[in-house]
Amino acid sequence: MIQFQQVSKTYPNGVQALKNVSLKVDQGEFVAIIGLSGAGKSTLIKLVNKMIESTDGTLLVNDQNVSILKGKNLRSFRRKIGMVFQSFNLINRTSVINNVLAARAADMNFFRTLFGLYSKDDKLQALESLHKVGILEKAYIRADQLSGGQQQRVALARTLSQNPSIILADEPVASLDPITANQIMKDFEKINKEENITILVNMHHVDLALKYANRVIGINNGEIIYDGPSEKITEDLLKKIYGRDLTDEDIMFKDK
């Protein structure tokens, strides 16, 4: 469970990215956060695993107060939270399986990691994660030789190998073509349903957000404009969230 209680974030340069945000996400929800770039979507997501620290309010994640987590506690807390990025952030010059193993390294003996001597069990787990997202046959190929969609799948497998209870996704499909984006969103949907993992995804493509998420949170200028089921969102609300009429840029499948 994720619970924001009047959380605010002001950056050192004075920009107030989030203003008194309160919301609650239950285990197993698929939530899309929509809004213009700069609205505070990314800040909201990064607060959850303390990539960014809040300046005010309380944030509870899995019954832990995030703001007091530090060092070892913070790291073991992060083990249960996966993260997927817009630019995939794979380690390019190494194999796909090594990418997945890197996300398991935190649980391993440091000397094993230091010399890259991963145990058979760890390797098997990594391969299982790759299998889950249907990319097992690429396990021994260098990560930078894959297409964008395949790279994002590897990133997803990497995150899954942590056995997370929450997955945070910061614009995961923004640099993909529409077809691939759709497939990746389907992967998220599958993971959400089959493993009951909470998914918090940032996106500016409204159509994809409404299609896959059960719940939508609309943010404008650091404030929540809408928070509710994706079916109940209206043109008017979208206008409020985006502060203007929707344009082609906000929709991935333009013909629909």
Under the binding rule (CB under 8 A), the answer on residue 52 touching another protein is no
Q: At what angle do helices 178-195 and 148-160 cross, to 10 degrees?
A: 20
Among 43, 98, 129, 152, binds another protein (CB under 8 A): 98
Q: Which is nearer to another protein, 32 or 90 (CB)?
A: 90
Under the binding rule (CB under 8 A), the answer on residue 2 touching another protein is no
Q: How far is the CB of 65 from another protein (least distance, A)?
A: 17
Residues 18-23: contacts with CB under 8 Å, at least 24 apart: 18/43, 18/44, 18/47, 18/54, 18/222, 19/221, 19/222, 19/223, 20/56, 20/57, 20/223, 21/57, 21/222, 21/223, 21/224, 22/57, 22/224, 23/217, 23/224, 23/227
Contact 165, 81 (CB under 8 A): yes
Which parts of 114-153 interact with another protein (CB under 8 A)? Answer: 114
Q: Which is nearer to another protein, 80 or 211 (CB)?
A: 80
Q: Which is nearer to another protein, 110 or 140 (CB)?
A: 110
Under the binding rule (CB under 8 A), the answer on residue 192 touching another protein is no
Among 87, 119, 145, 147, binds another protein (CB under 8 A): 87
Contact 160, 81 (CB under 8 A): no
Q: Which is nearer to another protein, 176 or 252 (CB)?
A: 176
Which residue is it, tokens 């390797």?
Answer: 123
Among 55, 89, 163, 220, binds another protein (CB under 8 A): 89
Under the binding rule (CB under 8 A), the answer on residue 169 touching another protein is no
Contacting residues for 49 by C-beta, under 8 A, at least 6 apart: 61, 77, 78, 81, 83, 168
Q: Which is nearer to another protein, 116 or 243 (CB)?
A: 116
Q: How far is the CB of 107 from another protein (least distance, A)?
A: 8
Backbone angles phi, psi at 23, to 5 degrees: -165, 165
Residues in contact with another protein by CB under 8 A are 49, 51, 75-79, 81-83, 85, 87-94, 98, 101-103, 105-106, 110, 113-114, 155, 158-159, 162
